[in-house]
Amino acid sequence: MVGANVKPRLVIGRVLLVLALVVAGIRLIDVQGFQAAALSAKAQQQLQLPLTLPASRGVITDRNGTQLAFSVDVDALYAQPGIMRKNWEANPKANPGVSYDQHTQAIADLMSKLLGPAINEQAVLGQLRSAGSFAYLVSQVNPALANQIHATFPEIGAEVRAMREYPQDSVAANVIGLANWRLDTTPAYLGGVTGLEHSMDAQLAGKPGSEIVDTEQGNYNVQIPGSQRDVRPAVNGENVQLTVDTDTQYEVQQLLTQYVAKTGAKDGSAVVMDVHTGQVYALANDNTFNPNLPITGTNTNVGDGAVTNAFEPGSVNKVITMAAAIDEGLVTPDTVIDVPSQLPVADRVIHDDWSHGDQKFTVTGVFAKSSNIGTDEIAQRVGQQNYYDMLIKMGLGTKTGVGLPGESAGYVPAIKDWSGSTFANLPFGQGLQETVLQLAGMYQAIANGGVRIPPRIIQSVTRADGTVVPTQQPAGVRVVSPQTAATLLSMMRAITQSAPSPNRATAPSAALAGYQIAGKTGTAQQVDPATHRYSDTMNTVTFAGILSADNPRFVVALMLDNPADHAESGETAAPLFHDIAAYLAQKYDLPVSSGPTPYMTLVQQP
């Protein structure tokens, strides 16, 4: 009985299996044959699209938290002209009586109405009517306006971007630099082009994230809500705080620009540095730019000459000879030097900038009256190797490492390459090159008790998680002994001495009422590019000053490139120092000096 029942069930099972296979085959034929085109078209309606999630670029602030650079959200509008036209022409019943040209004109009209001069209507029409697969129509659109355009014409897509804002316009622009939307990278991002925006791009930019979404191709890449997956969040960029003070930077830039115009100079640079920390409070250039405006025409001076341009400094470098001589115990400020009317050295004859007979200068007088002859005589006592060693200890020939891009190391000729007259030119600042920042560093060392602290302009970095990482103060370099530094600082007060000749110094115009000023003037001949020889009409004017001599707080270093009428430092850069020093004294409430600058004998009377 059992066996009889099994056979019908097997037959029935086989019949059912055959029927199932037949149904599946019919269904397969239907799907792959009759419905293939329809289902393929439907599948094309949903496409997976990998998206980049942009990271927010970090903010740049000054030492007080004032924003110097930040980002705002904008959209870039785009279209797929070839697909737009194809879909429009494939559905004439959906748009009765309206041609594709009329449709694109309506799009352009709305964009022109909402965006105004931000777009070129004819250019937009040309892109929409092209056969191209993709076109950006306009960048940096307010997201609200972009949404309005997309809501009216869904085929116009909006790509999320960011735009960099610089609320202080040209203030510290050469330091901060510029960031633009970079389409030459994968993925595209808001990236640095110049300045700190470029050199610190990796920290500021952060790391983009990613996700995958489903889109409706027929609806021009509109995302299907809720389809996001495989999400990797973006890591926002780090915030950077500078040592710069915005108010001081603004004032120094304004004064520098005024003096460049007043003196007829080609351009100029200035640095204000804290004596005890090496922090840069202001780093200014006359040739600057506004990063909020198009970089064209006169708005193209994006470099930072205060750190990138090296020049022959002139007599400000006489401090090196004095530092070496005093530190070696070879002279004192009152040592008398016999200074002739001229001094033969190798194949050169050295003169001073003014005519005089044989005179007896004090070492202080050699410095304060800026005698080339007296300086060379003192340098001969120092010797070539000791002098060269002092150049290196002062930081010349080496980048400061301040943290700004394109910094120049300047130029110091190797001692093995010196000719017979090289050691005649170097002691008064010809035959070598340095930047304004390096110049400030030399005088910072003297004002700081003989310890040079490499300058810095980055105060701290705040990571994406909120952790604040201060920039460590660089280790100091002992240049001269504390006693030598104090002696030099005292001696340099004579630079502002206003007295009857021959005891008048080179920079009475640098004096500031209530404060003892220490410093040095400099005027260097420039090399004529046509003759490759030193010019008699082209010069570089420099000044380095310390505020104040008895309580040092700031070093100010200045450079004016080729003032008109061969003007010298005491007539150009020294008055500029006075105005900057007056501002610093008031801004930072610096204590006045304990008394007036004492009179010093510069030249002994017969």
Helix (H) or strand (E) holding 79: strand 67-79
CA of residue 350 relative to chain centroid, distance: 40
Helix (H) or strand (E) holding 339: strand 336-339
**Is 220 in contact with 83 (CB distance < 8 Å)?**
yes
Helices 384-393 and 318-327, interaxial angle, to 10°? 110
Q: DSSP letters of 21-77?
A: HHHHHHHHHIIIIISHHHHHHHHHTEEEEEEEEPPPPPPEE-TT--EEEEEEEEEEE
- Whole-angstrom distance between the N-terminal and C-terminal Cα of the chain? 152
Residues 6+ apart with CB under 8 A from 56: 71, 162, 206, 234, 236, 237
Residues 6+ apart with CB under 8 A from 90: none
Length of the chain: 606
- The phi and psi torsions of 178 (rounded to 5 degrees) equal -150, 140
Q: Which pair of tokens denotes residue 471?
A: 């920039």
Helix then strand then coil, in percent of the chain rounded to 5, is 40, 25, 35
Q: What is the Cα–Cα distance from 243 to 605, expressed in whole angstroms?
A: 49
How many C-beta atoms lie closer than 10 Å to residue 408's C-beta? 18
Q: Which pair of tokens denotes residue 561?
A: 């490139």
Nearest Cα to Cα of residue 322 among 411, 269, 241, 394: 394
Q: What is the Cα–Cα distance from 514 to 435, expressed in whole angstroms?
A: 31
Q: What is the Cα–Cα distance from 69 to 246, expressed in whole angstroms?
A: 12
Residues 6+ apart with CB under 8 A from 312: 429, 430, 431, 432, 433, 524, 525, 526, 527, 540
Q: Which pair of tokens denotes residue 284?
A: 């200014």
Known catalytic residues are 315
**Is 560 in contact with 268 (CB distance < 8 Å)?**
yes
Q: Which pair of tokens denotes residue 580?
A: 């900057």
**Alpha-helix residue ranges (DSSP H) falling in 264-340:** 305-308, 318-327
* Residue 115: Cβ-neighbour burial (10 angstroms; 0-12, 13-18, 19+): buried
CA of residue 407 relative to chain centroid, distance: 10
**Is 456 in contact with 474 (CB distance < 8 Å)?**
yes
Q: Where are the beta strands (DSSP E) in 276-392?
A: 280-285, 336-339, 343-345, 348-350, 359-362
Q: DSSP letters of 165-183?
A: E-TTTTTTHHHH-EEEEE-
Q: Which pair of tokens denotes residue 2?
A: 């059992």
Please report where in the chains the tokens 């990998």 appear, as a residue.
Answer: 50
